[in-house]
């Protein structure tokens, strides 16, 4: 199964793609979609939408996982982040894909084993889990972590479902 993880942001949206075969997870690609801070929000959202749509069409994932919006101290920042997240969800839904959402706590717990892990700990663990030659850019590493979280959650759901059928 191919999974696209997305770490939404209006300035930088990270993406990470992994393939899952049983318990094996393999890195496919990762990167960022960067927007210009000088542009108005609608044009930045269009750039995110177009970038993610292009990635979705190129890599054809079977599942998309998105990090949920955290509760920022600044309400305006939270609203702007919500726009980017909505744009990411829309890009996947428009192509008929189901979107799964995970909190930062869930992602960090699934990848590092500790829900309050630092960004650097997440980056290092992603590097180790995917045997990357170097640490991925912060937003791309977060997106890969979201994809890994979904892979682990999916494996757990399948195991529970299988045991309940017995």
User: Is 161's pLDDT higher than 90?
Assistant: no
CB-based contacts of 52, cutoff 8 Å, min separation 6 = 6, 13, 15, 33, 87, 88, 91, 92
User: Is 120's pLDDT higher than 60?
Assistant: yes
The per-residue pLDDT of the chain, averaged, comes to: 90
Enumerate domains of the chain plus CATH numbers. 2-165 (3.30.420.10)
Residue 120 forms beta bridges with which residues? none
Mean pLDDT to the nearest integer, 110-132: 92
φ/ψ (deg, to 5) at 132: -80, 145
CB-based contacts of 131, cutoff 8 Å, min separation 6 = 27
Handedness of CA 118, 121, 146, 158 (dihedral sign): negative
- Report the 10 Å Cβ neighbour count for 145: 32
| Reported pTM | 0.90
CB-based contacts of 112, cutoff 8 Å, min separation 6 = 121, 122, 125
- 15-53 tens-digit pLDDT: 999 999 988 999 999 999 999 999 999 999 999 999 999
- 45-89 tens-digit pLDDT: 999 999 999 999 999 999 999 998 766 677 787 888 889 999 999
Q: Which residue has the higher pLDDT, 43 or 163?
A: 43
As given in the structure block, the two tokens for residue 66 are 């998105």
Most confident of 69-73, 94-98, 160-164: 94-98
User: Is 11's pLDDT higher than 90?
Assistant: yes
User: Is 162's pLDDT higher than 60?
Assistant: no
32-67: burial string, b at 16+ Cβ within 10 Å, e else = bbebeeeeeeeebbebbbebbeebbeeeebebbbbb
Residue-level pLDDT at 71: 62
96-124: burial string, b at 16+ Cβ within 10 Å, e else = ebebbebebebbbbbbbeeeebeeeebbb
Report the catalytic residues. 7, 67, 139
């Amino acid at each position: 199964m191919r999974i696209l993880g997305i770490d939404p942001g209006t300035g930088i949206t990270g993406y990470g793609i992994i393939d899952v075969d049983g318990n094996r997870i393999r890195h496919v690609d990762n990167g960022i979609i960067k927007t210009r801070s000088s542009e108005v929000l609608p044009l930045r959202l269009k750039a995110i939408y177009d970038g993610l749509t292009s990635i979705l069409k190129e890599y054809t994932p079977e599942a998309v996982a998105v990090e949920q919006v955290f509760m920022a101290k600044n309400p305006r920042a939270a609203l702007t982040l919500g726009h980017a997240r909505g744009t990411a969800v829309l890009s996947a839904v428009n192509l008929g894909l189901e979107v799964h959402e995970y909190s930062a706590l869930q992602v960090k717990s699934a990848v590092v084993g500790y829900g309050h892990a630092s960004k650097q700990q997440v980056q290092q663990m992603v590097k180790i889990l995917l045997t990357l030659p170097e640490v991925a850019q912060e937003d791309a590493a977060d997106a890969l972590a979201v994809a890994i979280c979904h892979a682990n959650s999916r494996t757990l759901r399948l195991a529970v479902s299988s045991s309940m059928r017995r």
